[in-house]
């Protein structure tokens, strides 16, 4: 199909994309360039080109998942990186847009799913996190099982070291004191709670909506010897706020992406009710460099139903309505890209197990997701926000030195 050749040819200028069409016709696009992959693909049927034109990301994903888009030189990480690097967000370019019909459908679906009503929140979480702890155990760092952006103050760190460095970085921003009560909203498999209880001598309540996470988190807490200081609850943050609980510190890592725009103010209002007047909160979330946007159809359909990546503007607009004061903001630009490449490598290393346990189609879907996410942080518009909030302006020192001092004293701190 000549049209898909023209579209891809306009996108790929650096690096090489070789295409073998279903009718045997071969096309070579781009030119070799340092730092740009060289990739060869084969379209197994004529529908692949059509699907790519209708919606590049969803069409490519489903064709790859179904084994109709075959990568014969390089891998899916190379393919996605080649396309995204040629259309970097910070160079002002954009990939080909979906058709009007698909854009309207995506917009309506995204708007409905972004509501993320409390009744559907648990199902949305289960879709992603209840697929099986064994997958995450093979993909994530072994000690803390952190399914969120690691922190890389040095290039020579392992994933395990970078995730512990992230925990120390966040703990320092919480300005913890022994005996304080900490709430971990979206506690995952308990890694943050274990770290804080063990090294800061605080008590932690971790909450999640994932039954698989809660069960394994409780096991890991007991194995770490901190069950007397950590409690894991299967509860929605809205219900916890309604029952009147209050904490000295609140931390939330990688959970805000699941809240949905219409619930942003509800989330922050609940946090304000849960936080002691002299308390500190640290929000760690994936964010957008630019203005508010929409979740792409592939991610919405297959990975994070109900999920949404916030812009800084809408995050602060929601929190300021409940008088949570942002006291420190840090933007992590490339840290998640490094993290995702580590996860991708570990999944590839466990390909045989994942395909046997979940099927080849799932493995292709999962690696496409990780490759696309990596490209979004390397060349697209994604980053991470760490926003520290307080309710009383005198709560923390007025300069940032206390963060570095506390971090240096913690295991994994730099």
Query: Average pLDDT of 323-336?
Result: 98
Q: Quick one: pLDDT at residue 90?
A: 83
Q: Quick one: pLDDT at residue 129?
A: 56
Q: Quick one: pLDDT at residue 131?
A: 72
Start-end of H helices in 36-158 = 47-54, 56-65, 76-85, 100-114, 118-129, 133-139
Per residue in 265-308, pLDDT tens? Answer: 999 999 999 999 999 999 999 999 999 999 999 999 999 898 99
Whether the CB-CB separation of 207 and 255 falls below 8 Å is answered with no
pLDDT at 144 over 90: yes
Q: Quick one: pLDDT at residue 111?
A: 55
pLDDT at 112 over 70: no
pLDDT at 218 over 60: yes
Sequence-ordered list of residues with C-beta below 8 angstroms from that of 387, at least 6 positions apart, any chain? 282, 283, 285, 315, 316, 319, 326, 328, 329
Percent of the residues in the chain that have a pLDDT greater than 90, as a whole number: 87
State how far the alpha carbon of 258 is from the alpha carbons of 50, 140, 262, 329, in Å: 32, 20, 11, 21
Dist CA 29 CA 42 (whole Å): 14
179 alpha-carbon distance from chain centroid:
31
Query: Average pLDDT of 178-190?
Result: 98
Q: Where is pLDDT greater, at 126 or 86?
A: 86
Query: Average pLDDT of 399-404?
Result: 97
Query: Average pLDDT of 49-60?
Result: 93
Q: Say which CATH topology domain 118-408 has.
A: Rossmann fold (3.40.50)
pLDDT class of 414 with cuts at 50, 70, 90: confident
Q: Quick one: pLDDT at residue 306?
A: 85
pLDDT class of 132 with cuts at 50, 70, 90: confident
In CATH terms, is domain 2-97 a member of 1.10.3470?
no
Query: Average pLDDT of 26-50?
Result: 96
Extents of the domains making up the chain: 2-97, 118-408
Query: Average pLDDT of 235-253?
Result: 97
Percent of the residues in the chain that have a pLDDT greater than 70, as a whole number: 90
């Amino acid at each position: 199909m000549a049209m898909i050749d023209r579209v891809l040819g306009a996108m790929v200028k650096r690096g090489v994309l070789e295409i073998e069409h279903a009718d045997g016709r071969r096309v070579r696009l781009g030119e070799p360039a340092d730092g740009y992959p060289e990739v060869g693909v084969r379209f197994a049927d004529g529908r692949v080109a059509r699907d790519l034109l209708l919606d590049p990301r969803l069409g490519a994903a489903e064709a790859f998942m179904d084994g109709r888009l075959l990568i014969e030189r390089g891998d899916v990480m190379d393919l996605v990186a080649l396309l995204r690097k040629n259309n970097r967000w910070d160079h002002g370019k954009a990939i080909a847009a979906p058709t009007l019909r698909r854009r309207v459908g995506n917009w309506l679906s995204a708007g409905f799913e972004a509501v993320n009503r409390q009744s559907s929140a648990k199902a949305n979480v289960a879709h992603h996190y209840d697929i099986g702890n064994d997958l995450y155990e093979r993909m994530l760092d072994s000690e803390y099982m952190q399914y969120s952006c690691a922190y890389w103050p040095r290039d020579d760190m392992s994933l395990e070291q970078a995730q512990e460095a992230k925990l120390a970085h966040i703990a320092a921003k919480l300005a913890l004191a022994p005996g304080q009560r900490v709430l971990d909203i979206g506690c995952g498999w308990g890694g943050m709670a274990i770290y804080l209880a063990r090294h800061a001598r605080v008590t932690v309540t971790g909450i999640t909506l994932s039954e698989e996470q809660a069960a394994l988190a409780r096991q890991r807490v007991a194995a770490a010897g901190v069950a007397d200081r950590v409690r894991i609850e299967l509860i929605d943050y809205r219900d916890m706020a309604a029952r009147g609980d209050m904490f000295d510190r609140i931390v939330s890592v990688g959970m805000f992406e699941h809240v949905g725009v219409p619930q942003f103010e509800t989330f922050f209002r609940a946090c304000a009710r849960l936080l002691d007047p002299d308390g500190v909160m640290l929000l760690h979330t994936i964010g957008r460099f630019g203005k508010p946007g929409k979740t792409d159809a592939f991610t919405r359909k297959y990975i994070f139903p109900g999920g949404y990546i916030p812009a800084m503007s809408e995050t602060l607009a929601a929190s300021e309505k409940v008088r949570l004061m942002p006291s420190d903001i840090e933007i992590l630009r490339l840290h998640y890209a490094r993290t995702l490449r580590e996860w991708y490598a570990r999944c590839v290393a466990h390909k045989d197990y994942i395909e046997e346990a979940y099927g080849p189609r799932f493995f292709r879907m999962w690696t496409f997701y990780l490759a696309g996410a990596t490209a979004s942080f390397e060349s697209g518009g994604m980053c991470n926000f760490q926003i520290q909030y307080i309710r009383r302006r005198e709560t923390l020192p007025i300069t940032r030195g206390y963060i570095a001092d506390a971090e240096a004293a913690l295991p994994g701190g730099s």
